[in-house]
Structure 1
Amino acid sequence: MSCCAPGADYATADHRLTADEILLASRPVGGGARQTDLSVPGIHCGGCIATIEKALSALPGVERARVNLSTKRVSIRWRDGTPPPFAETLAGVGYEAHLADFAETGTDAALSELIRALAVAGFASMNIMLLSVSVWSGAEPATRDLFHWISALIALPALAYSGRVFFRSAWGALRKGRTNMDVPISIGVSLAFALSLYETVHGGPHAYFDAAISLLFFLLIGRTLDHVMRERARVAVKGLARLAARGALVIGADGTGTYLPVAEIEPGMTILLAAGERVPVDARVLEGASELDCSLVSGEGLPQPAVAGQALQAGTLNLTRPLQITATSAARDSFLAEMVRMMEAAEEGRSLYRRIADRAARLYAPVIHLTAFLTFLGWMLATGDAHRAITIAIAVLIVTCPCALGLAVPMVQIMAARRLFEKGIMVRDGAAMERLAEIDSVVFDKTGTLTQGNPRLLDPAAKEPAALSLAAALAAHSRHPYSRALVVASGGLGRPAAGIVFSEISELPGAGLEAKAGGSLYRLGRPEWALGSDVVPEAGANEARVMLSRDGKALASFDFDDRLRPDAREAIAGLSAAGLKVEILSGDREEPVRRLAAALGLPHGARVSPGGKLAHIEAAAAEGRKVLMVGDGLNDAPALARAHASMAPATAADIGRNAADFVFLRESLLAVPQALAVAHEASKLVRQNLFLAVAYNAIAIPIAVLGYVTPLIAAVTMSLSSLLVIGNALRLGRHAAGGLTSVPPVEKVAGAPALALR
């Protein structure tokens, strides 16, 4: 259902985008290609999507054009060089465009217009219906004619005001030599009004002013709900965009500060970030120490320390002290902008179901026009009654509106994307939702995926307290993960033994820490380095070993291992219980991988190279298996891209996040079964919606052609079919408040294992 119309007047309509503007607003996406995002307010249906994508894809240098119906934006991927004439091409097919602003805010003018039109249509239809009831009750001819004239006087301004939502869209399409779903609606409403006015002028017994205005009323109800639904899905995107700072204080080479809009901040600029401000772009700390609220990025509610050298992501909140930071990316390339794009990409996927619905909607206008015309000819030949033939043809035009079919898939995808976002899961590709529902195997990486990537000291109680305290006192001077684990295990910063005062403390990257105390040299780090020789002690079954030494002699050794992600056991148990094959593929050493796999009861592969992981995924696909890959590192990227569906944590490397279909922001591994549960439920609702839409048309068209449906009944039934589809999609959202706090139960869908929502 449309919210705006092509060909409408916009503030930017008189301004044609120049090549320089497009080039400045575009961003490189690798391989010599760039991406440009344009806002196209006139997008409103599947026909618009097909028209725009076809026109833009035909331009030289354009690799891909994808339309997002909800946000009314188009993303264009093109080769480096002079930008093609995007705006001129869109204007040629009836659409005005301007550069998209992911953080744009303001009132929703389209919703305000819809509500006003709905109010006028509702008021007019109620009053006309009261007059019609009097006519149906057996009013005298003079009274009947008077009521018809009063109805006409009420209907005419209501039709002009409320109907412009459809008339504007239909005229914009016809002016460019094409049709859309609003063309037959406009024709049907106009013919119903014209026929009623003719009957009123000639004192006829029948008038359908009630049908024409009631049709507008019911259509506007569905269209307003559609708009609100899409806005609900965009609330998350708008909320993320509002987290972006509007600007920042940039420190120049001469030490003076200049406040710049965030869009003008470039990599390498030095920024003074005050307490209480959000990080405007991805950056790195130059000077200062503070605490950050990183809940947006990781879901961690506790403040996180920020020290010199630490990377910061856009949108995180500086809590306590000012920091001097240097920008490492532009605003459009920041983590926050990436999350906004991921959320919007949830609706851009060209899934099988959506392609079917879009093709059906595009075929609607010519097919239904032909059906209505043949109906008119048939009834004229059968009865010779032009009035009856026109009335039945109008009913056919009205009753067969494919709004329900057009809403069947996107409404479910919108609700699924919103549901996943509430669970801290971002959808990078809407089509992946469909693929996720088909998977029968899950492959996990180990470090950073099944585990947190934060080492811990094994068996600290068995360590000699003096040695642990000494190691922790030295480790307190380093930010290395093993050093932090030693400090945590000692219960604080630690205090060395009486009389030991460290001096000349230094850290050798890749080796460890060394310091002097009482004429002795202390080292904490790699065993061979700490012992001053090439001897490497037996590491046994542990993940890693750190040695504390004095003058080359071992004082103590410390073994570390990684911790499982929260709820990892519950997530694995739920996946296995649902009949999915689950395994671990890791590049780590055999022993730690084997120990973790044994604890979880999973088959495993260790020391697997990136090529080996990719080969494993391809071999599974050759066997007919559909694999979900869950990984986080650079070595997982090829497998993530090749898998049937893929997920990565927000802490993953950039290339890993970009290769994944889904990104989960929180620590809990229950994100995997939660995403599977939503995907299965969405798949069921899509099939149900398509069945409802097809069944409605299969029943309604023959009844209307046979003359058993009046224009009024046609208006009511058509609108109810759209509301039914929207209501069915809303079922996916009714569980959102409670969420999935336990392992979803097993459910069989079409003979395949599935995870069900409860």
Structure 2
Amino acid sequence: MTGAGREDAAAVACAHCGQPVIGRGTADAAGKRYCCTGCAAAADLVRELGLDGLYARRTLDPTARPPRPDEELPELVSHVRTDDRGRNTIDLMVDGLQCAACVQLIERAIAADDRVADARMNMTTRRLRVAWQGAPELADRLVNPAVRLGYRLLPYDAERMAAADDAQGRELIRAMAVAGFAAGNVMLLSIGIWAAGDAGMGEATRSLLHWASALIALPAIAYAGRPFFKSAWSALSRGRTNMDVPISIGVILTAAASLAHTWRGELHAYFDSATMLLFFLLIGRVLDARARGQARRTVAELIALARQPVSILDEATGALRRLAASDVRPGMIARVAAGERIGVDGVVLRGQGEIDQSLVTGESLPRMVVPGDRVTGGAVVLGAPLDIRVDAAGEDGQLAEMARLIEAAEQRRAGRVAFADRVSRAYAPTVHLAALLTFFGWWALVGIDWYDALSHAVAVLIITCPCALALAVPATQVAAASALARRGVLLQSPLALERLGQVDHVVLDKTGTLTLGRPRPVGLEALLGDADARARLGRAAALAAMSRHPLSQALAQAVPADLLPVAPAGEGGETAVEQAG
């Protein structure tokens, strides 16, 4: 092979994983080159699934692990959960997830097996859930297509996922901090040049300020621009464009033009514009990452509640034992003490009292339950202890289902998100064409110097920066889903948010009264003028402070502290016993 041939081979990117093809590599009948036989086999699998168009739609993330099939699948059988109907479920972390096209590919590849009942991939949490009928030992075989495609699968570990997200978030924050530092200092230097005007500052002083700006801005741009530069290079190396391409070109050309202006001793340089643009773009990236992280934390909190240990009653001996939620089976008897959160779904066998279901239903007022009533996980027992016959627990319970609903809501795309995605595919080529026409228009038609024409073209790239189009809609959608979940509202479709903007009437199925969910006693002012009433009110508030009931807590918080008795309630011959109901 000639030297030119070797260089050409090294410059080719693998058609599957995007990594450089070293040497000849492997080629298919269509002439596409692959870095290894594993990538060639993965491409064959993609064609068998009828997803040939995936390679044109996907975007490789340079910061993510490349989808190269070189990983061994770990042992998974011990992580399979089997319910009483014989349905097996396993949750896995997916490493190497690049974009939404990967989600479709993984789901289709696994669901192609007829034994798979459900395969759901969530891009936000990178969590893959697979359910099937049959032996638990089938887990390795059923998820193996995803491994053959180059994705690494591991048992789902929320702490490991959080650590990876934190590392990425810290990297973005460091880049934002560097860009902000550079933007602020370069702006201070630029203010001196602007204030002096064209003739108020000597050439040597102005040149010194420009070189000082360059000394601050160029290293900062090289460091803070890495998230955009890597993404843009990954897209361009595959013959495609994305939103980061015009951003990267605009920032690099602005910095280069400013350096040339400084070298030539011209009046103006634009280091401040380049650093400030990067700073604001990185603010958007950090906010987007934080919103998605909050959504993941909301799901993790629900999952953690669903996995709390449960006290199981042995009716033969009367002994209590603590079991992990995954070990609790339908038919067992769970005992929930006063003040404890219910960790199972089931029917009350013994005991009666009020429970707080605000986490599950959003209803602030407690609900009275008696034997025979159904209760769900997440409610807090306010009265006497309850014995509950278990119907579902752990991943099969209500809390886990709420987490799955939130994941599904975050995964679905609203109409405006889909519109933004469609526009973004045409946005970058359109902006590049507009900048190119601007350059040739000023240079060829107006007749100015090519160097000045290039400055006009760079201005087009900067002004048309697509940060809002790229980040605003998805970040808003994810943040809204997470905020609603914290307030007890499950968003099953982002389309509901768009339809809510068109609502002009709200019909409330209530008794005619809207409340804030926080009881507040009224008429206490009339009692404050009577010394005897004040004393009785103080003793009542002290007793109420010992109860978790919402009405008791409201009374305890409303009574002034100076009315409370010096001796604790219950001493001196007075006591209180809280009865159910």
- TM-score with structure 2 setting the length: 0.59
- Shift of residue 335, structure 1, vs aligned partner: 1.0
Counterpart check, 1:276 vs 2:326: no
- Structure 1 segment 334-483 matched on structure 2, within 5 A: 334-382=397-445, 383=447, 385-407=449-471, 409-410=473-474, 413-414=477-478, 417=481, 424-434=488-498
SS at match of 2:427: helix
SS at match of 1:276: coil
- Structure 1 segment 131-530 matched on structure 2, within 5 A: 131-136=189-194, 137=196, 138=198, 139-171=201-233, 173=235, 178-201=240-263, 203-228=265-290, 237=299, 240-241=302-303, 243-249=305-311, 259-268=322-331, 271-285=334-348, 291-305=354-368, 310-382=373-445, 383=447, 385-407=449-471, 409-410=473-474, 413-414=477-478, 417=481, 424-434=488-498
Amino acid at match of 1:357: A
Contact 1:17 1:87 in 2 (8 A): no
CA distance in 1, matches of 2:131, 2:235: 27
Structure whose residues are more often strand by fraction: 1
- Structure 1 segment 743-758 matched on structure 2, within 5 A: none
SS at match of 1:359: helix
Contact 1:245 1:279 in 2 (8 A): no
Counterpart check, 1:61 vs 2:111: yes
Residues 371, 343 of structure 1: alpha-carbon distance in 2 compared, 3 angstrom cutoff: same
Contact 1:103 1:238 in 2 (8 A): no
Amino acid at match of 1:8: T
SS at match of 1:429: coil
Counterpart check, 1:127 vs 2:185: yes
Residues 27, 213 of structure 1: alpha-carbon distance in 2 compared, 3 angstrom cutoff: farther
Contact 1:56 1:89 in 2 (8 A): no
Aligned length: 437
CA distance in 2, matches of 1:88, 1:174: 27
Amino acid at match of 1:119: A
- Structure 1 segment 702-713 matched on structure 2, within 5 A: none
Residues 209, 327 of structure 1: alpha-carbon distance in 2 compared, 3 angstrom cutoff: same
Amino acid at match of 1:182: D
Contact 2:110 2:145 in 1 (8 A): no
CA distance in 1, matches of 2:486, 2:252: 44
Identity, % of aligned pairs? 42
Amino acid at match of 1:209: F
Contact 2:125 2:296 in 1 (8 A): no
List alignment gaps of at least 5 residues for structure 2: 1-59, 518-581
CA distance in 1, matches of 2:442, 2:154: 46
- Shift of residue 76, structure 1, vs aligned partner: 7.0
Residues 52, 223 of structure 1: alpha-carbon distance in 2 compared, 3 angstrom cutoff: same
CA distance in 1, matches of 2:242, 2:155: 23
Residues 230, 198 of structure 1: alpha-carbon distance in 2 compared, 3 angstrom cutoff: same
- Shift of residue 216, structure 1, vs aligned partner: 0.8
- Shift of residue 59, structure 1, vs aligned partner: 2.6
- Shift of residue 360, structure 1, vs aligned partner: 0.7
CA distance in 1, matches of 2:402, 2:250: 43
**Equivalence for 2:44:** none
Contact 2:412 2:493 in 1 (8 A): yes
- Shift of residue 163, structure 1, vs aligned partner: 2.1
Residues 164, 393 of structure 1: alpha-carbon distance in 2 compared, 3 angstrom cutoff: same
List alignment gaps of at least 5 residues for structure 1: 445-449, 451-564, 572-665, 667-758
Amino acid at match of 1:149: W
- TM-score with structure 1 setting the length: 0.47
**Equivalence for 1:6:** 61
Residues 20, 378 of structure 1: alpha-carbon distance in 2 compared, 3 angstrom cutoff: farther
**Equivalence for 2:563:** none
The higher relative CO (CA closer than 8 Å, separation ≥ 6) is in 1
Amino acid at match of 2:175: A
**Which stretch shows the higher mean deviation, 54-63 or 216-225?**
54-63
What is the alpha-carbon root mean square deviation over aligned residues? Answer: 5.0
Amino acid at match of 2:208: L
SS at match of 1:329: strand
Amino acid at match of 1:56: I
Residues 15, 245 of structure 1: alpha-carbon distance in 2 compared, 3 angstrom cutoff: farther
- Structure 1 segment 80-91 matched on structure 2, within 5 A: 82-85=141-144, 88=147
